[in-house]
Structure 1
């Protein structure tokens, strides 16, 4: 009888524990790898980062005119060689934005500010001085862009740790146009020698507003970090530049150089960068 009671008590006490143990064994806690995968697959949030790359600049020039006026009371037109060429250089800067992820679709906004080393130069502008003065001037013109900024929307598709996106919006860029001329004048006929006649420098700059389109690929590394590769194309409308400079002459001559040119720049940018998402 005692043996039967002991066996019955053991069954009542031990059987629930066995059931609980079986239930606990069937419940699996999230692993560290799964937690990281969930974090990598979520692109929602603010981010900030930096980038570096290379820019290909193209400057179209038109409607170029130039006149050297009031040289000791005279005036003379000269042939102005406008800048129309390529200005390629390094670009680097910072970006910040915000993403919203809806299932696999990712919508976002982004703004960036960039340094750009872009400059194109044209030379051999010849200025014909009045015959009473003699001598000549030769000069060159340049156009350069030191910075640009963009304000863009982003539309992307996320699959795993990868985000493929298209982007577009508004672009700003400051473009500077410069012109210079250096003159010489005969100081002796026998033998024929030339001395400095003087020099003139003039410049004008403007902040241009245009468009930007492009796309990229971003890869999440985990812990909020991601790396990306991106291509952008920027186009700007035509802007007129008026340059005026005074003659600096050791011979006492006075004069003013005036120049006008229309410039239409565009840029292609390829860059890589890194973001940190909060």
Structure 2
């Protein structure tokens, strides 16, 4: 009797065991890890190139000519205003701290810029006491600028979107020249040389810089970026003083003053290497 029960059990469970052996193993679902955010923490250094749109607003141009032999007369340069656009290129360095997806940083950069505006026939005084007149030209130029800025950004994937702002410096130069003539004969009317002068004044201006950009990590510490900056420097006064040496025997000092308000808009692309 026991043998019959055992045999029946084998017949009952045998097919079930065979079917279970044929079933594929069941895999438990696994949790998909969240996308990793790139690590922006660390020092970096790099370079950039771009284009700058410079604006120079001038006003309050006044001046005098003082004759060393006595007497004076009004003298002024016409206001030098206009746009001085040109290529910009330079280097930057900084440090980033990343907290979750927030990136805080500081950056300093030094840039060359080819920005100049000039005007002709700017030196037009009326020297009534002498009877002569001058013609000439004046220009305003900027050769370099530098910024010291903070940055705050948001990292998503390999990209970093940021805003930036801080202090800006720029060296701006005002130059002027004048050449004078005086009547030497009335019948016929002829002119002779009255003299000439050249003068310039250079100042390092302090202003502000604001802007933003996007940076993209390429891997192995390298990244590329695109950036926009606006820089403003307020109104700054320039004083020009030049000595006039005249073959006609007129000597003296020409002193003039002009107020200039420069500003710049910069668009540039660059590359950084993070240590």
TM-score tier by shorter-chain length is: 0.7 to 0.9
Q: Deviations over 1:10-69 (max 9, x none)?
A: xxxxxxxxxxxxxxxxxxxxxxxxxxx97x821111000111111111112222201112
Q: Does 1:90 align with 2:87?
A: yes
* Alpha-carbon separation, structure 2, partners of 1:90 and 1:71: 45
* Alpha-carbon separation, structure 1, partners of 2:241 and 2:116: 21
Q: 2:173 aligns with which of 162, 165, 176?
A: 176
In our comparison, the structure showing a higher alpha carbon Rg is 2
- For the aligned residue pairs, the C-alpha RMSD in angstroms reads 1.9
- Asked if structure 1 preserves the Cα contact closer than 8 Å seen for 2:67 and 2:250, the reply is no
* Alpha-carbon separation, structure 1, partners of 2:68 and 2:83: 34
SS of 2:251's partner is coil
Structure 1's unaligned 5+ residue stretches are 1-36
Q: 1:68 aligns with which of 61, 65, 69?
A: 65
- Residue 157 of structure 1 corresponds to which residue in structure 2? 154
Shift of 1:179: 2.1
* Alpha-carbon separation, structure 2, partners of 1:191 and 1:177: 39
Q: 2:78 aligns with which of 46, 58, 81?
A: 81
Q: How does 1:90-129 map to 2 (within 5 A)?
A: 90-125=87-122, 126-129=124-127
* Alpha-carbon separation, structure 2, partners of 1:189 and 1:223: 81
Task: Please report the TM-score for the alignment, with normalisation by the length of structure 2.
Answer: 0.82
Shift of 1:192: 3.3
Q: Deviations over 1:154-199 (max 9, x none)?
A: 1111111111111001111111112221112234445433332211
Q: How does 1:16-55 map to 2 (within 5 A)?
A: 41-55=38-52
- Asked if structure 1 preserves the Cα contact closer than 8 Å seen for 2:75 and 2:256, the reply is no
Structure 2's unaligned 5+ residue stretches are 1-34
* Alpha-carbon separation, structure 1, partners of 2:268 and 2:244: 43
Q: Does 1:207 align with 2:223?
A: no
* Alpha-carbon separation, structure 2, partners of 1:257 and 1:117: 29
Moved more, 76-85 or 261-270: 76-85
SS of 2:121's partner is strand
- Residue 57 of structure 1 corresponds to which residue in structure 2? 54
Q: 2:145 aligns with which of 141, 144, 148?
A: 148
Number of residue pairs the alignment of both structures matches = 240
- Residue 254 of structure 1 corresponds to which residue in structure 2? 251
More helix as a share of residues: 1
Moved more, 220-229 or 192-201: 192-201
- Asked if structure 1 preserves the Cα contact closer than 8 Å seen for 2:75 and 2:254, the reply is no
Off by >6 Å, runs of 4+ in structure 1:
none
